[in-house]
Structure 1
């Protein structure tokens, strides 16, 4: 069932959907929850950029995708959500995620160590995880709501980019302050100056089309019109999906809980 909506609203919703890493990172996630997540990804507007789930459920996601007759890249998280200052452990976890079939890995930077002035441990962790991920897409989560200060957000962005990150990502979605436009502006400006292609991912608390549109407008202003594609820009979200469908005039069905 649909209702009358403007073509512009539907087009925006479709564009945003194609940029989503549809996410479920709840402690109680199981095969049934992942099956529901996979089913929700096949929408009247199209499909998201990827699924983002815990590594232990990658096999279940592959099975559910095969059963439902379509495929999507699968992302997972490592050193999550703690951002522990343990490069060897983070690299092992990243390698294990790749062995389990992850196409993309989102690893948490040791942000507390960086706040305390230890940039070397952050550099080492990114470098080791880059090597462990191999050719897989590596996104580095900065946890900007905890870094807070502009100079720390920029420093974390630079460390991640210099270490070989394919994307830099705002947040785990597990702290009090997650994605903000202020942090995104610093990150996008650092990407603009990077001298090589690097993507941006906004995660945590992005729940409406209007929220998403504000980030897209910011990316366009800083990085140029047409820059934001699935290869360069992602939203980490679950609750956003229902709002996208509603904004395009589609009845919202059984969607993942808005916990990210």
Structure 2
């Protein structure tokens, strides 16, 4: 079936299906994560996943199940946010997250090492994460706003894809510059060159329906409109949900707060 994204409402519906509803705040609590899970039950369907810190995976799972939202996946982050832990430590973090019930893993690429000329650090980290994840989807956060240079964004993308990333993700949401169309286009080019087998996650800085439409167009250029869905595209955000729901309902939508 062809995915139609001609209207803003269509774009919002698709983005809702592709949303990783996210809370990665220093003051998160089980109660606040339960409230996040409550938001996943909307009149227009559920998001693809909740993305929370590892400690809150069980709380997110329980609350989703209480709402009958078993299909909503629980994602968590490792090597987050700085991307500097040794591969063995990150693999141990993934093992603990799996034991806690996580369905998807978002790991931070060692972008500082790449800036310093060490490409092997990224390869070793992603390979270790791939082994530790097993069949769980692995999203690799490139922190494109810090890499900045197109050649480094492309190089990080190629390393992550070569070592088995299931998604390339723009950002942690913890830095000054997060997702940008330029970075997403570069990542998309690398994904397309790799056969478009991996997905794309746009995280941080997506705050309006115009942003959503811009990124949908970039993703469509990689996969074709008929392949757009949670298996190929994710938006990492929390406050964006209100914008999407308001757009679907046909009302005005104030821009969401940026970041997580």
- TM beyond 0.5: yes
Q: Following the alignment from structure 1 to structure 2, what is the Cα–Cα distance between the partners of residues 110 and 60? A: 29
Structure 1 unmatched runs, 5+: 1-6
Question: What is the number of equivalent residue pairs in this alignment?
Answer: 251
* Secondary structure, counterpart of 1:74 in structure 2: strand
| Closer/same/farther in 2, CA of residues 58 and 232 from structure 1, 3 Å limit | same
For residue 226 of structure 1, give the secondary structure of its aligned residue in structure 2.
helix
Give the 5 Å matches for 1:34-183. 34-71=33-70, 72-183=72-183
* Cα shift readout 1:144-193 (whole Å, capped 9, x = no counterpart): 00000000000000010011000010000000000000000000010001
CA distance in 1: counterparts of 2:60 and 2:202, whole angstroms: 23
CA distance in structure 2 between the aligned counterparts of 1:18 and 1:139, rounded to whole angstroms: 17
Q: Please list every run of 5 or more consecutive structure 2 residues that lacks an aligned counterpart in the other structure.
A: 1-5
- The answer to whether structure 1 residue 228 and structure 2 residue 228 are counterparts is yes
1:67 deviation in Å? 2.0
TM-score (norm 1): 0.92
SS class of match (2:229):
coil
Aligned to 1:4: none
Give the Cα–Cα distance (whole angstroms) in 2 for the partners of residues 249 and 69 of structure 1: 23
Cα RMSD for the two superposed structures:
1.8
Q: Distance in 1 between matches of 2:154 and 2:8?
A: 34
Distance 2:170 2:257 in 1: 21
Task: Calculate the TM-score normalised by the size of structure 2.
Answer: 0.92
**Conserved 8 A contact 1:26-1:259:** no
Mapping of residues 12-31 of structure 1, within 5 Å: 12-31=11-30
